Copies of this chain bind each other. A is one copy, B any other.
Amino acid sequence: MPLIAHPQSMPFSQPLPLQSGAAIRDYALSYETYGQLNADKSNAVLICHALNASHHVAGVYEGQPRSEGWWDNMIGPGKPVDTDRFFVVGVNNLGSCFGSTGPMHVNPDTGRVYGADFPVVTVEDWVDAQARLLDALGIRQLAAVMGGSLGGMQALCWSLRYPERVRHAVVVASAPNLTAENIAFNEVARRAIVTDPDFHGGHFYAHGVVPKRGLRIARMIGHITYLSDDVMNEKFGRQLREGIDPNVPPPGRPKAEGAPSGGSEDTPVPSVGAYKYSTQDVEFQIESYLRYQGDKFSEYFDANTYLLITRALDYFDPARAHGGSLQQALAQTQARFLLVSFTTDWRFAPARSREIVQALLDNKRAVSYAEIDAPHGHDAFLLDDARYLNVVRAYFARIAAEGAAA
């Protein structure tokens, strides 16, 4: 029987002070919980999400068998993060477009939709909001906080901001901050959105339009950076749209977050092996894949949320307040750590995880580190890789054993 997920919403009336100096009040956080909180409330695990994800981490919704949570291969009964042992909390961040208060909601100060006036939120702000949610759930200390990519930044931030509330931090495919290249890709995506005439300065809701052109471009750029060069060549290579190159078999399309099982367009099949000689038609399969991803994303993702989340990524930099020293920044941690990176991840390369590992070791913290030789690039953190899942499984088994011993 599949795990059935029940989305909930927690309202907060007390203003939340933000890093920018602004505050947000009368907001709500969407969340889900899986498993049972034990008597001494020591088995809670918080899962933090990345750009395109939500509080719906595991399980399916009643009557919707294909509505698996985004980390359902990782979290659930008998899974690496075992909900038979742990009480797992998934939470949607402020500013998102999947349920928690965000740019498409009404600003209580003005009575109008926030739009571009939604306050800029940071990883620190998200962590503060998550801490309040845990307060409301009666959870004083987390057995673990865990996330991948931007979610890993939140896990790291938890260990800095609430050191006494985190026993373990699990930071997957993440980085201590963005590189110039990371920021550059974010900026191009933002410019594509902001310069879309349908963006209307972020107040497009009132115009009854969506800046889909910009969202499509943003998502296409994102997808390129999520995949490795190798896996792109393996999945798509130089295959033409209709798979007509007689030299190479049609590519398989492994399951990946958001990867379609196939395109949906019906285009006429040209003569075998022929280029169409067109600058605007789809010629190569990689083009079809990216257009499909962009189209799909533009149907459901909020443009203002995209700006907010990429900016939170840009801003995250715990070493900044310590003269650039990550070692000094991490001196305040008390948790034990598991870091995982993937060899072909060029977005958040293993070297970036190693910076965190080194800074923790320099502080004599307990750190486990696994560098997984996986071909899938950044996306690997969401995929089924036995070594990766086993590393996480073993780590959480140890946490469970600690809890039982304590």
| A250 within 8 A of partner (CB) | no
Closest to A284 in B: B183
Interface residues on A, range: 35 or more
A167 adjacent to chain B (CB < 8 Å): no
- Chain B residues positioned under 8 Å from A184 (CB to CB): 220, 223-224, 232, 286-287, 290
Mark interface residues in A234-247 (1 if CB within 8 Å of B CB, else 0): 01111000000101
Given contacts A184-B286, A277-B20, contact A213 B238 (CB under 8 A): no
Interface of A is mostly: helix
Determine if B238 and A217 form an interchain contact, defined as CB atoms under 8 angstroms apart. no
Residues of B near A216 (CB, < 8 A) are: 191, 195
Task: Give chain B nearest CB distance to A252 CB in angstroms.
Answer: 14
A213 touches B195 (CB 8 A): yes
> Whose C-beta in chain B lies nearest to the C-beta of A309?
B279
Point out the residues of chain B lying under 8 angstroms from A224, CB to CB. 181, 184-185, 188
For A122, the closest partner residue in chain B by CB is: B277
- From the candidates B180, B235, B310, name the one contacting A238 in the complex (CB within 8 A): B180
Q: Does A280 contact B (CB under 8 A)?
A: yes
Do the beta carbons of A287 and B247 come within 8 Å of each other? Answer: no
B317–A221 contact, CB under 8 A? no
Q: Is the C-beta of A144 less than 8 angstroms from some C-beta in chain B?
A: no
CA distance A290 to B182 in the complex (A): 13
A315 to chain B, nearest CB (A): 6
Tell me whether A143 is interfacial, beta carbon within 8 Å.
no
- Bound complex: CA of A237 vs CA of B181, how far in Å? 8
Please name 22 pairs of A and B residues whose Cβ atoms are closer than 8 Å in the assembled complex, sorted by A: A19-B275, A21-B277, A22-B277, A119-B277, A120-B277, A120-B279, A177-B238, A178-B238, A180-B235, A180-B238, A184-B286, A185-B224, A187-B284, A187-B286, A187-B291, A195-B213, A196-B213, A202-B280, A238-B317, A275-B315, A278-B311, A279-B310
Given contact pairs A119-B277, A178-B238, A184-B232, a sample of 14 additional A-B residue pairs in the complex whose CB atoms are under 8 Å apart: A179-B238, A180-B233, A180-B235, A180-B284, A184-B223, A184-B286, A184-B290, A188-B217, A188-B220, A188-B224, A196-B213, A202-B280, A245-B320, A275-B315
Q: 5 closest A-B pairs (Cβ-Cβ)? A: A20-B277, A279-B307, A180-B232, A120-B277, A180-B236
